[in-house]
């Protein structure tokens, strides 16, 4: 069969193999015996019952992680051998890429073309990248006063609790596991209740790769129970969290007594700025991708699109054309570009914001409705004549709703772009490279893309200014977030 024909065939639903807690290398039901449902967002069908872990399971998982960290096999292992196990995990992920992509699509609803082309390849790349770091984590020698030899050691932070969201379940898992494993930490992960399946599958592959039992533990369950137990646990050294800013503030308070190290990767309301001198075709394509990719369920979504006045109408028209052409439908069809939102709550929230947009006086150019009558599909929605004070321009929607605003010059746009509590990402489109660099320097955000959008690479640090986060993930900076610096001073007398 020709490749093109294979590409057009609908992908089969994968088998679901792991649904229990993974603790100390064992697959266990929740201590309470409870389970929760996970559903396929395109059909609203229940696809699996998953163990609903809570405090008792977290306690067991922390014990297992501590045993490996406090003198267990992992703590004794040469760094290079840690790296080799991670390379093996990356190879197993690659061998199982098709299955993982299908599982991601089943649990999250994202189009199979995205899970195949983006999510899973990035997962593999992340684990492989950090495998290479395992034996390159070095300290310094420092010329202090007196007859002393002073050096630093970068030591693993310890047992890390990792709490992840549902928008990129496998990728968030890789972003958390990669640097933690390379640094020599041990892990208790709490995946999102909407999407526990790929994380559990990845844990099984980690076990097959030979990563010792207890190094990675996964406890599926809910935030206020399992998640909170992890955050409060006195024997957990750090929490790495990706999710909403509101949840991060709860975690920050709950982690105060035990003074855990915290890294947060949170939401955004990212400004995307198109100057009239930009390559408008590329700018429109990039801005469309920058918002509608993953059904708008991206923390970096370029949800405030500022277009310079003279190009405004043309950009709006071209965006509307693209929205009309966007293929919305069954995420298992490789032709589908736009799948359902992850669940009823997100679906309801997005449609509420569409109403806010209309109430506040924005002009709905395309979309604005549910797509079909089954599953959590929302049409790609475009609002023009949006002003800075409208709720759709201020609050994170986390859905396929793009607001287009108008601006006149660089000084004005820098001020307006920064008028938000968020600071995760931004983009600038212009052929005038000096102007693009100038704006990139003025925007207070962790990532600024110039003439591109959503370009992620494992080697490049990612994270937020202001209320979009604390610390950085990816790259060397992401690794540093999993180490403690120790100074050793030796008398030479
Ligand atoms: P989203 O709106 O994207 O679901 P959340 O911040 O609610 O974002 O969820 C992200 C992750 O945080 C999920 O794994 C969720 O279960 C977890 N979570 C939610 N509430 C808490 C909490 N109080 N303590 C710890 N984790 C939580």
* Chain segment 75-125, per-residue pLDDT in tens: 999 999 999 999 999 999 999 999 999 999 999 999 999 999 999 999 999
What's the alpha-carbon Rg for the chain, to the nearest Å?
Answer: 23
Same domain, yes or no, for 176 and 311? no
Q: Which of 386, 347, 345 is nearest to 365 (CA)?
A: 386
d(CA 269, CA 301) in angstroms, rounded, equals 7
Same domain, yes or no, for 297 and 388? yes
Query: Looking at the DSSP assignment, which residues form a beta bridge with residue 142?
Result: 150
Q: Of all atoms in ligand 1, which is nearest to the CA of residue 244? A: 6
Residue 52 lies in a domain: yes
Same domain, yes or no, for 292 and 204? no
Q: What is the CA 381 to chain-centroid distance, rounded?
A: 23
**Under-70 pLDDT residues of the chain:** 1-8
Same domain, yes or no, for 204 and 277? no
25 burial type by CB count under 10 A (0-12 exposed, 13-18 middle, 19+ buried): middle
Q: Residue 208 maps to which CATH number?
A: 3.40.605.10
Same domain, yes or no, for 281 and 345? yes
Residue 173 lies in a domain: yes
d(CA 74, CA 71) in angstroms, rounded, equals 8
Residue 16 lies in a domain: no
Same domain, yes or no, for 324 and 430? yes
Residue 456 lies in a domain: no
Around ligand 1, the residues with Cβ closer than 6 Å are 163-166, 190, 192-193, 222-224, 227-228, 231, 243-244, 247, 250-251
Residue 293 lies in a domain: yes
Instruction: Find the catalytic residue in 104, 193, 265, 473.
Output: 265
Same domain, yes or no, for 121 and 254? yes
Same domain, yes or no, for 211 and 278? no
Which pLDDT does position 7 carry in this prediction? 56
Check if 265 is active-site.
Answer: yes
Ligand 1 midpoint to CA 481 (Å): 21
Ligand 1 midpoint to CA 246 (Å): 9
Residue 379 lies in a domain: yes
Q: Of all atoms in ligand 1, which is nearest to the CA of residue 191? A: 14
Q: Which of 185, 56, 84 is nearest to 478 (CA)?
A: 185
Q: Residue 378 maps to which CATH number?
A: 3.40.309.10
Cβ pair 100, 112 in contact under 8 A:
no
Q: Which residue minimizes the CA distance to atom 4 of ligand 1?
A: 165
Ligand 1 midpoint to CA 250 (Å): 10
Ligand 1 midpoint to CA 165 (Å): 7
> Domain limits at 349?
271-450
pTM over 0.95: yes
Which pLDDT does position 434 carry in this prediction? 97
Same domain, yes or no, for 173 and 303? no
Residue 7 lies in a domain: no
Which pLDDT does position 428 carry in this prediction? 98
Please count the structural domains in the chain. 2
* Chain segment 12-40, per-residue pLDDT in tens: 999 999 999 999 999 999 999 999 999 99
Query: Looking at the DSSP assignment, which residues form a beta bridge with residue 150?
Result: 142, 489
Same domain, yes or no, for 250 and 390? no
Residue 461 lies in a domain: no
Which pLDDT does position 148 carry in this prediction? 98
Distances (CA, A) of 228 to 157, 266, 337: 20, 17, 36
Cβ pair 124, 98 in contact under 8 A:
no
Same domain, yes or no, for 248 and 348? no
Same domain, yes or no, for 275 and 204? no
Q: Of all atoms in ligand 1, which is nearest to the CA of residue 163? A: 14
């Amino acid at each position: 069969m020709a490749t093109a024909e294979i590409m057009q065939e609908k992908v089969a639903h994968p088998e679901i193999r792991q649904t229990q807690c993974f603790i100390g290398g064992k697959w266990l039901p929740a201590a309470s015996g409870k389970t929760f449902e996970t559903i396929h967002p395109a059909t609203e069908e229940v696809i699996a019952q998953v163990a609903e872990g809570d405090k008792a399971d977290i306690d067991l998982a922390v014990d297992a992680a501590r045993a490996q960290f406090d003198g267990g096999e992992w703590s004794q292992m040469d760094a290079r051998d840690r790296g080799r196990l991670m390379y093996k995990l990356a190879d197993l992920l690659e061998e199982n890429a098709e299955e993982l992509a299908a599982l991601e699509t089943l649990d999250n609803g994202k189009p199979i073309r995205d899970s195949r082309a983006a999510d899973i390849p990035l997962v593999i790349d992340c684990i492989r990248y950090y495998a290479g770091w395992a034996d390159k984590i070095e300290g310094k020698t420092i010329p202090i006063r007196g007859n002393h030899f002073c050096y630093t050691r970068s030591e693993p932070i310890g047992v890390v609790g990792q709490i992840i969201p549902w928008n990129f379940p496998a990728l968030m898992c890789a972003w958390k596991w990669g640097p933690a494993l390379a640094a020599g930490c041990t892990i208790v992960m709490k995946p999102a209740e909407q999407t526990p399946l790929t994380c559990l599958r990845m844990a099984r592959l980690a076990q097959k790769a030979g990563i010792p039992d207890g190094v990675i533990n996964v406890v599926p369950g809910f935030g206020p129970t399992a998640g909170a137990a992890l955050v409060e646990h006195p024997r957990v050294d750090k929490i790495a969290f990706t999710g909403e800013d509101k949840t991060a503030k709860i975690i920050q308070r709950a982690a105060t007594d035990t003074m855990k190290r915290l890294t947060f990767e949170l939401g955004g309301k990212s400004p995307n700025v198109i100057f009239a001198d930009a390559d408008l075709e590329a700018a429109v394509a990039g801005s469309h991708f920058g918002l509608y990719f993953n059904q708008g369920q991206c923390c970096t979504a370029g949800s405030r699109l500022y277009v310079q006045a003279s190009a405004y109408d043309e950009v709006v028209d071209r965006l509307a054309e693209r929205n009309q052409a966007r293929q919305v439908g069954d995420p298992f069809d490789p032709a589908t570009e736009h799948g359902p939102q992850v669940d009823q709550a997100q679906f309801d929230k997005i449609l509420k914001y569409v109403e806010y947009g209309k109430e506040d006086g924005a002009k709905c150019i395309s979309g604005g409705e549910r797509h079909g009558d089954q599953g959590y599909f929302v049409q790609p929605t475009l609002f023009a004549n949006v002003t800075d004070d409208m709720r759709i321009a201020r609050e994170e929607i986390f859905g396929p709703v793009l607001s287009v605003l108008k601006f006149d010059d660089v000084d004005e746009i820098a001020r307006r772009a920064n008028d938000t509590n968020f600071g995760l990402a931004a983009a600038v489109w212009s052929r005038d490279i000096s102007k693009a660099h100038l704006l990139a320097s003025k925007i207070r955000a962790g990532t600024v893309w110039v003439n591109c959008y959503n370009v992620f690479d494992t080697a490049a640090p990612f994270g937020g200014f202001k209320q979009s986060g604390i610390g950085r993930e990816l790259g060397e900076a992401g690794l540093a977030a999993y180490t403690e610096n120790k100074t050793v001073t030796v008398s030479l007398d």
